[in-house]
């Protein structure tokens, strides 16, 4: 790949970044549904604050991936691996209880894993390794 091709972000990286942003949007929706469902039972303040911090950090990390930071790309992989048990196991229990949240969670999982595949496509790897990463 030439230096000129490496300077422009590959379309696969751009698509992956958009997918990751959409994952955050779906997460915000799921959080809103959860808050509304549990509003009468308990105070959602702690969950809202932790989710806000989590989403803010996620958005910053996604931004850095879009700028070509290779370490941010690998951090997304680590987060994905760490969240698999927390995401997949409760998914099967939530289906009958809250179908909408389950469908949104499945959508997040599919988008996130597809985005990771795009970030590790050959053209994406070359871009991250070709002087754009730190």
In this structure, what DSSP letter does residue 9 have?
P
Q: Identify the weakest region by mean pLDDT among 19-28, 70-79, 96-105.
A: 96-105
pLDDT for the residue numbered 54: 93
Q: What is the 3-state secondary structure (H, E, C) of 25-90?
A: HHHHHHHHHHHHHHCCCCCCHHHHHHHHHHHHHHHHHHHHHHCCCHHHHHHHHHHHHHHHHHHHHH
pLDDT for the residue numbered 106: 87
pLDDT top residue among 94 and 131: 94
The pLDDT confidence band at residue 103, using thresholds 50, 70 and 90, is confident
- Model confidence at 110: pLDDT above 70: yes
Please, what is the average pLDDT of the chain?
85
The per-residue pLDDT for range 2-59, each reduced to its tens digit, is: 443 445 889 999 999 999 999 999 999 988 888 887 777 777 888 889 999 999 999 9
């Amino acid at each position: 790949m030439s230096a000129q091709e490496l300077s422009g972000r590959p379309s696969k990286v751009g698509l992956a970044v958009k997918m990751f942003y959409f994952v955050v949007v779906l997460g915000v929706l799921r959080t809103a549904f959860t808050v509304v469902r549990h509003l009468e039972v308990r105070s959602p303040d702690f969950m809202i604050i932790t989710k806000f911090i989590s989403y803010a950090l996620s958005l910053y990390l996604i931004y850095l991936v879009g700028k070509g930071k290779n370490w941010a790309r690998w951090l997304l992989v680590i987060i994905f691996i760490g969240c698999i048990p927390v995401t997949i196991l409760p998914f099967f229990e939530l289906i009958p209880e809250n179908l909408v949240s389950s469908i949104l969670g499945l959508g997040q999982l599919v988008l996130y894993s597809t985005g990771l595949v795009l970030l590790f496509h050959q053209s994406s790897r070359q871009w991250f390794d070709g002087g754009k990463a730190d």
